A = this chain, B = another copy of it.
């Protein structure tokens, strides 16, 4: 939907005014739309495009060197009038003539057609190339009645490249036709869109479903299916479009294709990249060479959530056009491009793991116990992750459960690997800590990771550490966590449970309690302290409104710490029983 506007009737006009104000270096306002900021050079064919508003960056954002000379801009989802098209074309036409190019929709055909007639009557040479890339809108034998979607970009780019090379109108037209003939698209939608000022969406897609072949004005699709995974969607796209491969292009080895993965509105960049990763893999597996892929928004349908894939089978001319420089408001290529040789990709994990040197028997046994305790922590966090998330959602961003889960799982796995390699207790803790910090990320991940590492470094890999050694390792972890995080007792953080835990453990060990007993007493102290954080206000520096929202709720970091320590204590007790 549209959220803020002044007047629904004037929405498209105001958008154009704001667009020109933001892009004065590239465009100027002309009657009926926008044109390049500079004059068409004498003798150059002018490429005039256009269509309804609501498809940004189509069409205003696609005006500039390497793209259109001008765009006629209609109302939202309505073709520009013939007068608009005429006015825009006149503003850029030279004696070399005008190529009109636009998506094949009835209203556009009619209005551009009327404008073409009027321009001809005035003596301006005019040709027309309609874009018909959407394979879902008609069968292969009715290709010329198909509608145009993101393939617009391909045809406009080709026409502009030809025009800027100084080719005559007929040659520019032939190249644009050739580009359209070799372009195929398929789109899907996950949600509808609501026009500015409208109370209801233009159409809806049922939750968990996807409309296949839906148009960019909400025209119904050819099929409704359950939401696929990103990879399944990529398979649908690639199989459909390769099945429509133009007859006169190579099938596999030797075929070079331009690719557009187009977001139709509300699909975010990251999600497009996940889909593109799968698309690229599938195309390459088919033997195709991808040239200058474009992943982003090129022709949208207001805020509709949807994605389309466009394939453009290149030949030598078309590849030159596709890779040529451009400088429009929303499409730029070939600027201060990187020079120098491209370095190799290096997608290695940033945590490097050295081999573990096996340690003495007693030490390896201690490593096993530590690993069992970490596994117990993982299990309790797995069990409680949703609850921790809900607790965190009251005053924070709700990701504490997920973050702890990622960290604890990674730590338990790293600990097991280290034990398998014969590592001692200290090394197991260090590796678990590094894995936790790296996989969990965020604040709690960094603190848990640093704490485990500090404990491991203090404990070392000696055989069977004494309870006093363990208490000192916990002390080291506490000091590290407080040192990094800067929190004090009473700030409503993890520290509120950690400090009582470390103190109770040290006291019990001093009383000569066995480790498992001492640990359990410390975990009980941590649990009590964690519950008591419900009465605290959050530490300074968090958004102030948190104070109000979290009143009466305990701190999720303190709670998860206490539960983890309780679980670790249970593991130590089990080990103690098994050992006796």
Contacts and interface: CB of A to CB of B under 8 A. Distances in A.
A83 B302 CA distance: 40
Nearest to A36: B338
A347 B403 CA distance: 53
A194 to B, nearest CB: 11
Interface in A74-93: 74-84, 86-88, 91
A574 interface: no
Interface in A45-90: 52-54, 56-57, 61, 64-66, 74-84, 86-88
Nearest to A342: B37
A65 to B, nearest CB: 5
Most buried by B among A16, A36, A271, A549: A271
A6 B277 CA distance: 11
A22 B276 contact: yes
A407 B549 CA distance: 52
B437 A484 contact: no
Contact of A350 (B28, B83, B273, B302): B83
A70 to B, nearest CB: 12
A357 interface: no
B406 A22 contact: no
A96 interface: no
A62 to B, nearest CB: 12
A220 B114 contact: no
A197 B237 CA distance: 22
Contact of A268 (B2, B78, B341, B344): B2
Contacts of A227: 3-4
B346 A273 contact: no
B37 A273 contact: no
Interface string A354-382: 00000000000000000000000000000
Interface size class of A (residues with CB under 8 A): 35 or more
A339 B438 contact: no
Contacts of A219: 397, 543
A2 B280 contact: no
A114 to B, nearest CB: 7
Given A270-B15, A335-B336, A441-B80, A450 B114 contact: yes
A111 B12 contact: no
Given A22-B273, A83-B434, A215-B543, A9 B338 contact: no
Interface in A195-214: 195-196, 202, 210
Most buried by B among A229, A450, A541: A541
A201 to B, nearest CB: 10
Contacts of A544: 138, 222
Contact of A397 (B218, B221, B406): B218
Interface string A320-362: 0000011100101111111111111111111100000000000
A337 B82 contact: no
Contact of A441 (B38, B74, B195, B292): B74
Given A37-B343, A229-B5, A274-B4, A114 B350 contact: no
A422 interface: no
Contacts of A14: 230, 273-274, 277
Given A6-B274, A22-B293, A137-B543, 20 more contacts: A3-B267, A6-B229, A11-B274, A17-B277, A22-B273, A24-B342, A29-B347, A36-B338, A37-B342, A38-B340, A56-B270, A74-B441, A78-B441, A83-B351, A84-B350, A107-B443, A107-B446, A111-B437, A196-B271, A335-B336
Across chains A and B, which 6 residue pairs bring their CB atoms closest together, nearest first?
A335-B335, A87-B350, A18-B277, A56-B269, A18-B273, A31-B350
24 contacts: A4-B233, A6-B229, A6-B231, A14-B273, A15-B273, A15-B274, A19-B276, A21-B277, A22-B261, A25-B342, A29-B345, A31-B346, A31-B347, A31-B349, A37-B342, A38-B340, A52-B442, A56-B273, A78-B399, A78-B440, A202-B398, A217-B397, A326-B336, A332-B333
